[in-house]
Each structure stands twice: as C-alpha cells, then as structure tokens.
Amino acid sequence: MMKKSVTVVLSLIVVFGGMASAEVLLYDTFADASRLETNLPQESAVWVSHPDGVTMGVGSLAFNQNAASGSQKMWTYFAPEGAPVTLQVGHQLVTTIEFTPRQTVYDTTSKNFRFGLFYDPTDGQVLEDMNSDDGKGRWGDSTGYAVHFPLSSGPSSSNSSLGKRIADLTSSLLGSGSAYPGLTSGGDAFTVAEGTLYTLTFALDYQAVDQMLVSFSIADATGVLSSNSIVDDGTFGGYDMGVYTQFDHLFFRFSSASGTADVLDFHSIKVEQIVPEPASLAFLGLGAAALLKRRN
C-alpha cells in the first residue's frame, strides 16, 4: 500500500506538472570538474568532511568512503545566506541526485546512506570543509526532513526510513536517530550494483497548512526500485513543531563504505521548487485527500 501511495503522489506531480511552474534553484552537473564555485542556479560549492577523499572530473564528484576512518559528510546550499526557500501551500521542493556506486558494494542491512533537506534558523551557512556532525556546534537547532537507506549488493538488504528532525534533541544533524523520533520504515528492500547509475528523488509536497507529504524513491534505468512516504501533520514523532516550510541546504552522511560503497560518484544535484497554477490546486487537494483516505 505504501508503494502504491507514493506512486499516486508521483503520478499527481507528473499529471499536473503542465499546470505548474518549476524554478530550478540548483542544477550542478560538475561540468567544470570543480566543487568550489557558487553561481546559483548553475552550481553551488560542495563542502565535505574529508577533502582528500574527493576526486573531481567532468561530470563527476567521486567521494572515497575509505579515505578516512569514521563517517563522511557532504553538503551544499541551494539558497543564499539569509534567504531560505519558503514553501507556501501547494508548493513542492524536489531534489534529484544522480550517482554511481563504484569499486565495491557490500552485503548489508545497515542504513548508512543518509540524506536530507534542512535549514538552520539561527546560524550562518557553513561554507568550509570540516569533519563535524553538528557544524561545530551550529546545527543542533536545525529543522528538516531526511531519509536513511542502505546500498547493498545483496542477498540481504533493507528498505528506507523517513523522518522529521526535531531541533535540539541532539546536536548531530544526521548522525543520530534520536533526532528523528517516529522514523518510519517502508517500501521494498532493494539491492544495487557497482557501476550502475541510480537516481535518488526526495520530495516535499506542502499540501495543506498541517500536511507535508515527504516522499523518497530510488531508481535505475529499469524504473523505480523502492519508494516510501510519510505525512507530517505538524506533530510527527510526537512533537508539536508544526510543519517545516523553510530550507536552504541538502546534507549527506555516509556512516561507512559498508551500506554505501567504496566510492560514491555523484554526477548531478538538482533542486526545484514547483509552484502549481491556481486551477491545479483544487485537483491536487482532491488527490491528497483521496490518498489520505486510502491510507487511513
């Protein structure tokens, strides 16, 4: 049922895409073989925990997960300092990541590939390489939504888990599950293969004042391998924080090569804000209501 629900959501996005305008906030294809420049929306500097582990090429940011012990982190901003994207009801924020796992992919169920969209309401943007789960003390009050999943070669594997970050439960942005009470697993378990191109899609669909639909999918050339979704009514996880509507950066955390890959080769990072035309809002609202009714 969960997979079918996400399919309905994605279908609504496609059907009404012609009745909406999409603003590309960031579309970095690493065409200049560099990660250090910011010129939105064409590119944004990509910051990492271990710069010695990054190899740049045309259309490639290859991050060696064995470059140093411990977890690896990577992040970039799609909005200027002090000007976060602010979603209104009916808006969507859609992130599409293309990447290839290289060298070795391991058999595991550990959800060591973690990704999310966030906003820190009190501190400036972190525009430097550094190995820190908490932005050197700045990210504790950050808000956002995230997905955890494994990249496994099989035969064992797992599905994805989606959650909402509750500020100040822990200082770590993505390093601790305790920041994500109510973390929800769903969708099919899936496996991946070394040298294969994958597309990760993470979408926030602000359907009502008290309703944010958060969805994830991963696909290869044959189609969607797994998908998952949650609905935040403002109290997801048991905390009355309201629905989050402001975002300015995306963040990756890779706990180890096992559960990700020896090398994660990123080819593009795309972030779009989709604003429906007025006539389509009613249709989207009806679709969302029908979806929630089916799920309940």
Predicted local confidence at residue 249, as pLDDT: 99
Q: What are the Cα distances from residue 64, in Å, to 2, 36, 71, 193, 266?
A: 34, 18, 11, 17, 11
Predicted local confidence at residue 285, as pLDDT: 55
Overall domain count for the chain: 1
Give percent of the chain above pLDDT 90. 83
Token code pair at residue 225? 């391998």
Q: In what order do the strands lie in the sheet with 184-190?
A: 46-48, 72-77, 249-254, 113-119, 143-149, 158-165, 184-190
Predicted local confidence at residue 69, as pLDDT: 87
Enclosing domain of residue 254:
2-295
Q: What share of the chain is helix, strand, coil (3-state, %, to 5)?
A: 15, 45, 40
Q: Other C-beta atoms within 10 Å of 296: how many?
A: 5
Average pLDDT estimate for 254-282: 89
Rg (alpha carbons) of the chain, rounded to whole number: 18
- Amino acid sitting at position 4: K
CATH code, domain carrying 186 = 2.60.120.200
pTM for the model:
0.88
Using one digit for the tens of pLDDT, what is the confidence trace for 190-236?
999 999 999 999 999 999 999 999 999 999 999 999 999 999 999 99
